[in-house]
Copies of this chain bind each other. A is one copy, B any other.
Amino acid sequence: MTTGNGTERPTGADRSAGRAGRRPGAASTRGQVLEAARARFAADGFASTTIRGVAGDAGVDPSQVMQFFGSKEGLFAAVMELPDSALAQFSTAFDGPDAGLGERVVRAFLAAWEGSAQVSEPLMAMLRGAIAHEGARAQLRDFIQARLLEGVRGRATGDGPELAMRAGLVSAMLVGVVMGRRVIGVPALAEADTEQVVEVLAPAVQEILAGT
């Protein structure tokens, strides 16, 4: 947690003072970049925000932003106070061959949302924040939309908007299932183990993403 990578969560202490193992000034520079990114994501949305623009606002070189956060996704994760790995788990979920796609997607979502507390708790906090606050909601909306469109851009076949909608429906329904299990905690759902949920949902997700 002293390497300045995107898995580090911004805190007041983080921004106001350097910590052991980091060179003086790095923490406050990182904090300035985060502040600038937060403002850019809020004002322009995820798709229109650039590393270059954020770097300019923060008065640093773009290479420094990359050094701290690795990518625009990493920067977004840091602004949303998520560990890098939380978003990485979704970014490849819809990739790969159609065979077994439903099962891979269901497992990726359950692994992220119901796996280690280090990933699932910040994700849950982000979701609660987005439900409660319009600012967080707008950022999340824009990020999800950008990722859905990006996810279908590389596909050789199929109707892009239709595929983005199908991937979006699957994402939304899986988050709903996680909410039913972990937030509301309905016993009929919460008591089912991961394998049971995969068994029931994988064919349905397969149907939505790739037809029967």
* A interface residue numbers (CB < 8 A to B): 128, 130-132, 137, 140-141, 144-145, 148-149, 161, 164-169, 171-177, 179-181, 183-189, 192, 196-197, 200-201, 203-205, 207-208, 212
Of B128, B168, B183, B189, the residue contacting A186 (CB under 8 A) is B168
B residues within 8 A CB of A168?
Answer: 180, 186, 188-189
Of B132, B169, B181, B203, the residue contacting A172 (CB under 8 A) is B181
Of B145, B165, B203, the residue contacting A200 (CB under 8 A) is B165
What's the least CB distance linking A25 to chain B, in Å?
38
With both beta carbons as reference points, the residue of chain B lying nearest to A211 in the complex is identified as: B203
Given contacts A131-B128, A176-B176, are A141 and B188 in contact (CB under 8 A)?
no
Query: Are A186's CB and B131's CB within 8 A?
Result: no
B residues within 8 A CB of A186?
Answer: 141, 144-145, 148, 168, 172
What's the least CB distance linking A210 to chain B, in Å?
12
